[in-house]
Structure 1
Amino acid sequence: MNKNKILLVDDELNLRETISELLIYQNYSVKSACNGQEALDLLEYWTPDLIICDIMMPVMDGYTLHGIIKDIHSLNSIPFIFLTAKKEHNLMRKCLLDGADDFISKPFKIKELTSIIESKIERFSKIKNTYTNLYPGRKKVFLHEINTPLNGILGPIELLMENPKELDKKEISAFYESIKISGERLNRTMQNIILYQNLKNNFIEFNLNSSADILNEFLKTKEKILKIYEGQEKRISFEIDKATIKINSEHLQYIFFELIDNALKFSSNNKVIIVSGEQFNNEYYELVIRDFGIGFSEQELNKIGAAQQFNREEREQQGLGLGLFLSKIIIKKSNGVFTIVSKENEGTSIKIFLPLCDTPILD
Structure 2
Amino acid sequence: MNRTKILLVDDELNLRETISELLIYQNYNVKSACNGQEALNLLEYWTPDLIICDIMMPVMDGSTLLEIIKDINSLNSIPFIFLTAKKESNLMRKCLLEGADDYIAKPFKIKELVSIIESKLERFEKIKNSHSNLYLGKKKVFLHEINTPLNGILGPIELLIENQEKLEKKEISAFYESIKLSGERLNRTMQNIILYQNLKNNSVEFNDNSSSEILNSFLKTKEKIFKIHEDQEKRISFEIDKAAIKISEEHLQYIFFELIDNALKFSSNSKIIIVSGERFNNKYYELVIRDFGIGFSEQELNKIGAAQQFNREEREQQGLGLGLFLGKIIIKKSNGVFTIVSKENEGTTIKILLPLCTKKCD
TM-score tier (shorter): over 0.9
Alignment map for 1:139-288 (pairs within 5 Å)? 139-288=139-288
Pairing 1:322–2:325 present: no
- What 5-or-longer segments of structure 2 have no aligned partner? none
Amino acid at match of 1:121: L
C-alpha separation between the residues in 2 aligned to 1:135 and 1:82? Answer: 27
Residues 243 and 360, structure 1, Cα contact 8 Å, conserved in 2: no
Q: Deviation at 1:252?
A: 0.8
- Report the equivalent of 1:60: 60
C-alpha separation between the residues in 2 aligned to 1:294 and 1:99? Answer: 33
* Local SS of the residue matching 1:224: helix
Q: Which moved more, 1:330-339 or 1:94-103?
A: 94-103
C-alpha separation between the residues in 2 aligned to 1:97 and 1:319? Answer: 34
C-alpha separation between the residues in 2 aligned to 1:182 and 1:189? Answer: 11
Residues 244 and 359, structure 1, Cα contact 8 Å, conserved in 2: no
Pairing 1:18–2:21 present: no
Amino acid at match of 2:30: V
C-alpha separation between the residues in 2 aligned to 1:70 and 1:304? Answer: 12
Q: Which moved more, 1:265-274 or 1:301-310?
A: 301-310
Residues 45 and 333, structure 1, Cα contact 8 Å, conserved in 2: yes
Amino acid at match of 2:297: S
C-alpha separation between the residues in 2 aligned to 1:129 and 1:264? Answer: 38
Alignment map for 1:57-96 (pairs within 5 Å)? 57-96=57-96
Q: Which moved more, 1:247-256 or 1:306-315?
A: 306-315
C-alpha separation between the residues in 1 aligned to 2:50 and 2:344? Answer: 37
Amino acid at match of 1:168: E
Q: Deviation at 1:114?
A: 1.8
Q: Decide whether aligned partners of structure 1 residues 227 and 336 sit closer, same or farther in structure 2, where only a CA change above 3 A counts.
A: same
Q: Deviation at 1:34?
A: 0.4
C-alpha separation between the residues in 1 aligned to 2:86 and 2:229? Answer: 62
C-alpha separation between the residues in 2 aligned to 1:246 and 1:89? Answer: 54
* Local SS of the residue matching 2:208: coil
Q: Which moved more, 1:279-288 or 1:63-72?
A: 63-72
- Report the equivalent of 1:105: 105
C-alpha separation between the residues in 1 aligned to 2:80 and 2:310? Answer: 29
Q: Deviations over 1:77-128 (max 9, x none)?
A: 2111122215355444411233322222222112212222222222222222
Amino acid at match of 2:319: G
Q: Deviations over 1:41-94 (max 9, x none)?
A: 111111111111111111111122122222222212211112221535544441
C-alpha separation between the residues in 2 aligned to 1:107 and 1:298? Answer: 39
Aligned residues: 361
- Report the equivalent of 1:340: 340
Residues 7 and 31, structure 1, Cα contact 8 Å, conserved in 2: yes
Q: Deviation at 1:240?
A: 0.6
Q: Decide whether aligned partners of structure 1 residues 67 and 271 sit closer, same or farther in structure 2, where only a CA change above 3 A counts.
A: closer
* Local SS of the residue matching 1:182: helix
Alignment map for 1:340-359 (pairs within 5 Å)? 340-359=340-359
C-alpha separation between the residues in 2 aligned to 1:229 and 1:288? Answer: 21
Q: Decide whether aligned partners of structure 1 residues 111 and 207 sit closer, same or farther in structure 2, where only a CA change above 3 A counts.
A: same
- Report the equivalent of 2:46: 46
C-alpha separation between the residues in 2 aligned to 1:205 and 1:18? Answer: 31
Residues 84 and 92, structure 1, Cα contact 8 Å, conserved in 2: no
C-alpha separation between the residues in 2 aligned to 1:15 and 1:159? Answer: 68
C-alpha separation between the residues in 1 aligned to 2:68 and 2:346? Answer: 29
Identity of matched residues, %: 86
Pairing 1:306–2:306 present: yes
* Local SS of the residue matching 1:171: helix
C-alpha separation between the residues in 2 aligned to 1:108 and 1:316? Answer: 52
State the TM-score, normalizing by the size of structure 2: 0.95
State the TM-score, normalizing by the size of structure 1: 0.95
Q: Deviations over 1:230-271 (max 9, x none)?
A: 222121111111111111211111110000011111122222
Q: Deviation at 1:209?
A: 2.7
Amino acid at match of 2:232: Q
Q: Deviations over 1:321-361 (max 9, x none)?
A: 11111111111111111111122222211111111111389
C-alpha separation between the residues in 1 aligned to 2:360 and 2:202? Answer: 31
Q: Decide whether aligned partners of structure 1 residues 289 and 108 sit closer, same or farther in structure 2, where only a CA change above 3 A counts.
A: same
C-alpha separation between the residues in 2 aligned to 1:331 and 1:88? Answer: 43
